[in-house]
Structure 1
Amino acid sequence: MPVPPSVAALERLAARSWRGLEEAPYGDWLLRAGGGFTGRANSVLVLGDPPADLPDAVDAVTHWYTRRGLQPRAQVPGPGNEEADAAFDAAGWAHHDEVLVLTAPLTGWAETAVQVSLAPTPDDAWLAGYRYRGTPLPPVAAAVLANADEPVFAAVRCDPEPAPLAAVARGVLVDGWLCVTAVTVDERHRRRGLATAVMAALGAWARDRDGHSCLLQVAQENTPALALYARLGFTEHHRYHYRLGPQA
């Protein structure tokens, strides 16, 4: 794998794979809104410097989100953004979630016998199979999921329709990096290697397009997922957390 990029470079790359439906630069920061679906699509990405002093920048971010009926939220990667994080803290924004950003080379991922289908858009079965934080998707989710350059949607079906899919995942290739999200395995089909299968299929798809590395984000408390990705050779690159402002 090439020399790992900086925290800022990797976060900007990842942001291109999971976008808000509305985005606006604020100095070096990136404001994003996506109807409330997912933290990344509805938070300001805090990297570099805003165009104002930090207390005023926090106020401007607050107003931007409240005007859209969203709870103000900031995604704060580290290390490197401690002063901004302290400014959000001083304004009363709560610390929320700790997320690990993992990376691995796209080598050594053995293909499995599991049949994985790949599609350029998510159909109704795929959308029903993706359980964001264990819950069904809101209507806006389909637009957020499709809002990237040539995403691919992986699916595994073990039972005939209309039974739900056994596993799903999403991939986007950005500058040689496969950004994987939405890995979900139905409870009835867990511990059968299906997550490994969809990762292998996405990895092969990316290598065919000159992909060299993979990145993904995992909540710190998601022990089973961390164990899976460790077996695939992933290591921690950095972390980020959210700051939550007052409810709109």
Structure 2
Amino acid sequence: MRAAAGFTGRANSTVTCGDPGMPVPGALRTVQGFAREHGIKPTAHVVNGSAAEAAIESAGWRVDLDHPGGSESLVMTGPLEKFADGVAESLDLPGWWELTAGSEVSDVHRHVLGGGGNVCFASLTEDGVVIAAVRGAVVEDVLHVARLAVRPSHRRQGLARKLMGELAGWGLEQGATTCVLQVAEHNTPAIRLYEELGCTEHHRYRYWIPAVS
């Protein structure tokens, strides 16, 4: 169970892989209690088609169709060596945070995005302004990619591809061989880019919430 003051879906949801050690309805009541305690919406992070999903639906929960990031996301993986091009430099710039997390950056933002292994805050700048940014974190031999963003004024210039190539190069230097990332199913341009980089869909997940709050 994870809580981070509402910043990102993953950081404010309960992972439902494995045996909860009790009947699923009881486990979901525990999720609701945890959510009340931390002031967040009770949410279960559920792999599509899993046994957990069927049990959670039977317990009266529903897919969160109003989730800000979309109701369904793909998890994609791919080999870094296929698209590595250069090596990203990790710079904790104010512009990086503004582009990826918004203008009001709190300790929660820094905890969520700054934790999780060996972290790289990669960016591209123009005239001192961050125009593209991405976060990478290496855990064992896997590079976890998140928060890829390009300013609207600089899109369709290949910046996302360039940044991903540099991040992959950084990941290889840190001992990673594979990347993993999440992308909303409606974000077809991003999915197309990741496919061109050699990534394929591993599985999908959805967020589930109580049918009656």
- Whether TM-score is above 0.5 comes out as yes
Matched residue type, 1:67: E
* Residue matched to 1:83: 54
Q: Deviations over 1:156-182 (max 9, x none)?
A: 00123xxx4110000011121111000
The reply to whether residue 181 of structure 1 matches residue 142 of structure 2 is: no
Corresponding residue to 1:194 among 156, 159, 184: 159
CA distance in 1, matches of 2:56, 2:61: 11
* Unaligned 5+ runs, structure 1: 1-30
**By how many angstroms is 1:136 displaced?**
4.8
Counterpart of 2:190 in structure 1: which amino acid?
A
In structure 2, list runs of 5 or more residues that go unmatched: 66-70
Q: Distance in 1 between matches of 2:212 and 2:205?
A: 21
Deviation at 1:94, TM superposition (A): 3.7
> 2-side partners of 1:247 and 1:61: how far apart?
14
Q: Is the partner of 1:118 in helix, strand or coil? A: coil
Tell me the distance in 2 between the aligned counterparts of 1:205 and 1:247.
46
Q: Which amino acid aligns with 1:100?
A: L
Are 1:156 and 2:127 an aligned pair?
Answer: no
**For residue 143 of structure 1, what is the amino acid of its counterpart?**
H
Contact 1:116 1:197 in 2 (8 A): no
Q: Secondary structure at the match of 2:81?
A: coil
Identity level (%): 35
Shift of 1:116: 5.0
Q: For 2:159 and 2:95, how far apart are their aligned partners in 1?
A: 17
In structure 1, which of residues 125, 128, 138 is the aligned counterpart of residue 95 of structure 2?
125
Look up the match of 1:104.
Answer: 78
Counterparts of 2:212 and 2:163 in 1: how far apart (Å)?
37
CA distance in 2, matches of 1:191, 1:75: 32
Question: Is contact 1:72–1:246 with CA below 8 Å preserved after alignment?
Answer: no
Q: Is the 8 A contact 1:46 1:84 kept in 2?
A: no
Rounded Cα–Cα distance in structure 1 between residues aligned with 2:211 and 2:200: 34
Instruction: Provide TM-score, normalisation by structure 2.
Output: 0.88
Which runs of structure 2 are paired with 1:1-248 in the superposition (5 Å)?
31-80=1-50, 81-87=52-58, 90-96=59-65, 97-109=71-83, 111=85, 116-119=88-91, 122-130=92-100, 136=103, 139=106, 140-160=108-128, 164-245=129-210
Give aligned pairs, total. Answer: 206
Q: For residues 8 and 55 of structure 2, what CA distance do their matches in structure 1 show?
A: 22
Q: 1:124-145: per-residue Cα shift (whole Å, max 9, x none)?
A: 22101215xxx65552212211
- How far apart are the structure 2 equivalents of 1:69 and 1:117? 37
Partner of 2:118: helix, strand, or coil? Answer: coil
How many angstroms apart in 2 are the aligned matches of 1:210 and 1:174?
9
C-alpha RMSD of the superposition:
2.1
